[in-house]
Each structure stands twice: as C-alpha cells, then as structure tokens.
Amino acid sequence: MKPQLILLGAPGTGKGTQAKRIVDEFGYSHISTGDLLRGEIAKGSDLGKKVKSIIDKGDLVNDQVVLELLNANCSISDSAYIFDGFPRNIEQSELLEEHVLKGAASKAIYFDIDLDILVERISNRRIAPKSGEIYNLLSRPPKVEGKCDISGEDLIHRKDDTAETVRNRLEVFKNTIAPILDYYEGRGVLVRIDASTSAEEVFAKVGEAINS
Ligand code: AMP
C-alpha cells in the first residue's frame, strides 16, 4: 500500500501543481482543505458564510471545523490520499493522526523555499477551477490571456491571492510550521525537498519519497 502523503509548505510553493501530477502518475486521491472550504463558500452553505471573512483575511479556520470537513470527504481505507493544506498547526497534525490516519503508513513532504520570493509568485497566480490547471502570469502564462489552455474557461485570481492577504498567510505559515516539522521529524516520516528547483526536479524527488 502506498503511504498516505501529507504535503507541507507555504502557499505558492507548488504543492497544488505537484499534487495534480501525483494523482495522475501514482493514482492518489487529492484532498485540499482550501478547495473544500472554497467549495462551501461557492455553495453559499452556512459553513461557507461563517468562514468567508476568515479566509479573505488569510487567517486560519477553526481546527475542528476543518477536521470535520476533511473527515466527511475522505476515507483512507479506500484510497491513498494526498493531504494538501492540512495540517496547518501542531494541533491539526495530532488531529490528523488521531482521527484520520489512525496509524496508517504516511510520509510528510515539506516543500522548502525562501519565503521572500513567494509574495510575487502567489500574487501572479491564476487558477482554472474546473480543469485544476494553475498558471503564473510571469513563469507560466496562459496562451490566451485570461483563459485556460486546456478547457478554455475563464481563469480566476483568488481573492486571498492579493499581496496584502498573501503577506498575512505567509506570516501565519512562519508562525506555525516549525513544530509541525518537528512532529513529523520525530516520527521519522519527514522528507524535505528543495522547492526552488524546477517542477520536474521537485516531482522526481516526490517520486523517490513515495517509493522509498
Ligand atoms: P489554501 O488553499 O490551502 O491556501 O487555503 C486557503 C485558506 O483556507 C487559508 O488561508 C485558510 O484561511 C483556510 N484553510 C485551508 N486549510 C485550512 C486548515 N487546515 N486549517 C485552517 N484554515 C484552513
């Protein structure tokens, strides 16, 4: 059985891009708590209404709320999952182990990068919600401005991808990541990957981590 994968890294480190390739090439299921929360906002559910202003500011939603949403959307006895965006603090690492993984084999992959380059990277990010393609106006622009190369749909600029919110999201990340890394290091399942290299090189390292 393939290990359950926990992707760790600041926003904009390429977790989403890598997750898409891991799904395509290794047959994983991908679960992103950010996507689930944005789905609730798009549906206009009570939960969506409650979390919208928190997400727009770049702050963290309540741990139990996100855990429930996660648990309602994954079943690790059926598939190997990529957990993307969860855990965001040490309490969530413990909740993930206790309520979701329950001792299942897992690997935590940390996408390590100098945080200073991320504000520019994220504020230039554009996303195609249906195809899941992720563009960057500087490094990977779409062929036709504002449209997805694959599906032709309109690209969106996430509301929380604006410079001010990005700075707060990075601040939140900096304040929470160290104990999370210690937690997985202590369990002997942490793999650190230099995320400043090309997506190809990063993916090769991810493959080694999955197979090791
Ligand atoms: P992401 O798409 O992972 O960058 O998440 C976007 C936003 O959703 C974050 O800035 C948080 O406001 C919220 N969020 C996503 N995952 C979590 C989580 N595990 N715990 C708390 N808030 C979360």
Q: Which residue has its alpha carbon closest to ligand 1 atom 5?
A: 34
Q: Does the pTM exceed 0.95?
A: no
Q: How far away, in angstroms, is 195 Cα from ligand 1 center?
A: 20
Atom of ligand 1 at shortest range from CA of 58: 10
- Of these residues, 38, 88, 107, 121, which one is catalytic? 88
Does residue 89 lie in a domain region? Answer: yes
- The whole-number pLDDT of residue 186 equals 97
Does residue 49 lie in a domain region? Answer: no
Q: Based on the residue annotation, tell me whether 21 is a catalytic residue of this protein.
A: no
Q: Based on the residue annotation, tell me whether 125 is a catalytic residue of this protein.
A: yes
Does residue 149 lie in a domain region? Answer: yes
Does residue 84 lie in a domain region? Answer: yes
CATH of the domain at 110: 3.40.50.300
Does residue 97 lie in a domain region? Answer: yes
**Ligand 1 cavity residues, CB under 6 Å:** 11, 33-34, 37, 54-55, 58-61, 66, 85-86, 88, 92, 160, 169
Alpha carbon 53 to its chain's center: 20
Does residue 134 lie in a domain region? Answer: yes
Which is it for strands 125-127 and 134-136: parallel, antiparallel or unpaired?
A: antiparallel
Q: Based on the residue annotation, tell me whether 169 is a catalytic residue of this protein.
A: yes
Dihedral sign for Cα atoms in the order 18, 20, 25, 28: positive
Give pLDDT tens digits along the chain (212 positions).
799 999 999 998 999 999 999 999 999 999 999 999 999 999 999 999 999 999 999 999 999 999 999 999 999 988 999 999 999 999 999 999 999 999 999 999 999 998 888 888 898 999 999 999 999 999 899 999 999 999 999 999 998 998 889 889 999 999 999 999 999 999 999 999 999 999 999 999 999 999 98
Does residue 189 lie in a domain region? Answer: yes
Q: Which residues of 35-46 are buried (b: 16+ CB within 10 A; e: fewer)?
A: bbbbbbbeeeee
- Of these residues, 15, 38, 107, 126, which one is catalytic? 15
CB atoms within 10 A of CB 161: 20
User: Is the separation of the CB atoms in 50 and 69 below 8 Å?
Assistant: no
Q: How far away, in angstroms, is 23 Cα from ligand 1 center?
A: 21
Nearest residue to 5 via CA among 201, 174, 193: 193
- The whole-number pLDDT of residue 144 equals 97
Domain count, the chain: 1
- Residue 111: domain span: 4-28+80-211
- Of these residues, 107, 121, 169, 205, which one is catalytic? 169
Q: Based on the residue annotation, tell me whether 15 is a catalytic residue of this protein.
A: yes
Does residue 129 lie in a domain region? Answer: yes
Q: Based on the residue annotation, tell me whether 158 is a catalytic residue of this protein.
A: yes
Cα angle for residues 126, 153, 86 (degrees, 5° grid): 45
**How many CA atoms lie less than 13 Å away from 207 in the CB half-sphere?**
10
- Of these residues, 107, 125, 126, 205, which one is catalytic? 125
- The whole-number pLDDT of residue 67 equals 97
